[in-house]
């Protein structure tokens, strides 16, 4: 059965295929299949065959270059590697590696069906953004996170052991095992919560920044969000609100090319997301999100300026997630060439290549960090697995009473 005229195959289409008893499906390689539809088709053993067809008005591809320059210019290489202190370089590596090993452990647990729930969204490939941004912050600063938020939380100082316990639904987790992977929160660390609702963190960040603006405490709030969230109503509303009241919010768009399986080139009317900020009179910039040095340099500059004079900033960090939208995603929407190119964008590999010229960073320095991180992740696993499940009587605790 062929659906060559379809640009998008939804759960409804998949259900119709099952009702008709289809055994195979022929579609264009540019056709988008929603995750639920793909699960239904694959679950019934329907063989999907892809074929070429003439391109549409928009090329459906998530693989793209860093295009354009923000109002302050593009900062892909706008830094001098020599000015970075040894301690900061080692911190970059420590944080990125810690995030990577934590996410690999979580991925392994999910593949073994140890983690309850439908999906786990991995941050593998985007470590440079979390590390670069959070190294530019102070303890008093805040952040709002996303469904792909483990990296943000670790970089802000969250304990991997309590995070993993939460992901496993255990009582020693940050939210007593009730929040799971997408809702980890620690107000004491300035983590106002990861959020499973796309774009929900931006208005929350505005509220946090408004408090800081009124209190005059000099705190900055970072709102992480993805390219897909830039198409939500909360995006425009939050940028407008922050601009009107000169709120110290750093809106950080992690543009990894896809909203689930929908390419940015298909879903966004502008070539670059950061351009949208300029329409609200907000300082906007595009950077290489795979380069921790670029991320830190740009964010540090803006954060320092925001502390002196509160105002919002929008940064689009172009990056590449190294695996699918969720653990187990077959990634049929990505071309073979794109998948083969992904290792070249690995932020940890890029970091190690860049610091080869630094005589102050020895193999011994890096080995010590690797050993330290490995030990921390092992201890986190032991802690989380030993943590008990919350008692049944706690199921309705912490809910708002009517």
CATH numbers and ranges of domains, the chain: 8-51 (no CATH), 81-386 (3.40.50.970)
pLDDT at 71 over 50: no
**Burial environment of residue 214 by CB neighbours within 10 A (0 to 12, 13 to 18, 19 or more):** exposed
Q: Return the SS3 of 315.
A: strand
- Number of other CB atoms surrounding residue 315 within 10 Å: 28
Instruction: Report which of residues 78 and 60 the model is more confident about.
Output: 78
- Number of other CB atoms surrounding residue 370 within 10 Å: 14
Query: pLDDT at position 7, please?
Result: 65
Confidence of residue 20 (pLDDT cuts 50, 70, 90): confident
Q: Which residues pair with 288 in a beta bridge?
A: 318
Q: Which residues pair with 3 in a beta bridge?
A: none
Query: pLDDT at position 93, please?
Result: 97
Query: pLDDT at position 76, please?
Result: 52
Residue located via tokens 């919350």: 390
pLDDT at 313 over 80: yes
Per the prediction, the chain carries an average pLDDT of 89
Q: Which helix H or strand E contains 232, and what residues bound it?
A: none
How far is 187 from 142, CA to CA, in rounded Å? 8
User: Which has the minimum average pLDDT: 75-89, 139-153, 318-332?
Assistant: 75-89
Query: pLDDT at position 70, please?
Result: 38
**From start to end of 2-82, where are the E strands?**
8-9, 24-28, 32-33, 47-51
Cβ-contact 103, 377 below 8 angstroms: no
Q: What is the pTM of this model?
A: 0.82
- Number of other CB atoms surrounding residue 303 within 10 Å: 19
How far is 192 from 9, CA to CA, in rounded Å? 36
Query: What backbone torsions phi and psi does residue 33 show, to the nearest 5 degrees?
Result: -110, 125
How far separated are the first and last CA of the chain, in Å rounded? 52
Confidence of residue 50 (pLDDT cuts 50, 70, 90): low
Q: Which residues pair with 24 in a beta bridge?
A: 47
Residue 393 DSSP label: G
* pLDDT tens digits, 214-245: 999 999 999 999 999 999 999 999 999 999 99
Closest CA to 31 of 333, 264, 335: 333
Ordered DSSP codes for 258-327: EETTEEHHHH-SSS-TTHHHHTTT-EEEEEETT-HHHHHHHHHHHHHHHHHS---EEEEEE---SS-SST
User: Which has the minimum average pLDDT: 34-43, 115-124, 271-280, 284-293?
Assistant: 34-43
């Amino acid at each position: 059965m062929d659906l060559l005229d379809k640009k998008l195959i939804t759960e409804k289409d998949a259900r119709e295929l099952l009702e008709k008893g289809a055994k195979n499906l022929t579609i264009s390689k540019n056709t988008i299949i929603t995750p639920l539809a793909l699960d239904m088709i694959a679950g019934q053993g329907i063989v999907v065959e892809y074929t070429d067809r003439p391109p549409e008005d928009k090329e459906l591809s998530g693989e793209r270059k860093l295009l354009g320059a923000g109002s302050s210019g593009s900062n892909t290489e706008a830094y001098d590697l020599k000015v970075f202190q040894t301690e900061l370089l080692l911190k970059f590596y420590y944080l990125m590696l810690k995030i990577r090993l934590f996410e690999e452990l979580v991925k392994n647990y999910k593949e073994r069906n140890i983690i309850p729930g439908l999906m786990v969204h991995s941050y593998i490939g985007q470590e440079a953004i979390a590390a670069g941004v959070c190294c530019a912050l102070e303890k008093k600063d805040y952040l709002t996170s996303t469904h792909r938020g483990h990296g943000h939380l670790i970089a802000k100082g969250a304990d991997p052991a309590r995070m993993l316990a939460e992901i496993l639904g255990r009582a020693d987790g940050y939210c007593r095992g009730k929040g799971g992977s997408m809702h980890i929160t620690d107000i004491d660390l300035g983590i106002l919560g990861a959020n499973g609702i796309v774009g929900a963190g931006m208005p929350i960040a505005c509220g946090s920044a408004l408090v800081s603006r009124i209190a005059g405490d000099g705190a900055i709030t970072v709102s992480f969000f993805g390219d897909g969230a830039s198409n939500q109503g909360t995006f425009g509303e939050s940028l407008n609100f922050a601009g009107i009241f000169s709120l110290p919010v750093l809106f950080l768009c992690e543009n990894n090319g896809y909203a689930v399986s929908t390419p940015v080139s298909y879903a966004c009317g502008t070539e670059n997301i950061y351009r949208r900020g300029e329409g609200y009179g907000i300082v906007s910039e595009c950077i290489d999100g795979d380069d921790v040095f670029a991320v830190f340099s740009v964010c540090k500059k803006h954060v320092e300026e925001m502390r002196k004079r509160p105002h919002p900033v929008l940064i689009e960090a172009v990056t590449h997630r190294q695996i699918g939208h969720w653990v187990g995603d077959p990634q049929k929407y990505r071309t073979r060439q794109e998948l083969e190119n992904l290792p070249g964008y690995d932020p940890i590999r890029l970091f190690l290549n860049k610091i080869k010229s630094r005589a102050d960073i020895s193999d011994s320095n890096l080995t010590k960090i690797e050993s330290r991180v490995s030990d921390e992740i092992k201890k986190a696993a032991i802690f989380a697995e030993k943590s008990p499940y919350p008692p049944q009587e706690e199921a309705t605790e912490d809910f708002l009473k009517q």
